[in-house]
Amino acid sequence: MAYNLIGKYVRVHLYTHSGQMLGSLTGRVADVSFEVEVAPGIKKDLAYVVDIETGGEEPYRNSNGVENEAWFAVQDLEVIEKDQPRFFSN
């Protein structure tokens, strides 16, 4: 299913628990994992994103304090072409 994401550049859209968008970051998908239980009774497909760029001076740190790599829900990813203009599609 999402194995085709490996090696692709993506934009990750970050949301609060209530669904408000916080912003986005970009990186490259290094791995995927399917049907991971992220909360009791809730399973999601996840992508491990590395080489994360936030657009700011501070590096991105995941919940374990590791810089510039983390797991994200596949549903929050947008595949991007690294040096191409961004077009919205809904």
- Which residue ranges form the domains of the chain, and what is each CATH number? 2-80 (2.30.30)
Structure tokens at 42: 């809730």
Helices (H) and strands (E) in the chain, counts: 0, 5
3 against 13, higher pLDDT: 13
pLDDT digits 0-9 by tens, 65-82: 889 999 999 999 999 976
Coil, strand or helix: which one is 4? helix
pLDDT for 23: 87
Average pLDDT, the chain: 87
pLDDT band at 27 (very low <50, low <70, confident <90, very high): very high
Contacts of 80 (CB under 8 A, 6+ apart): 9, 10, 11, 26, 86
Q: Say yes or no to pLDDT of 2 above 70.
A: no
Distance, CA of 52 to CA of 49 (rounded, Å): 7
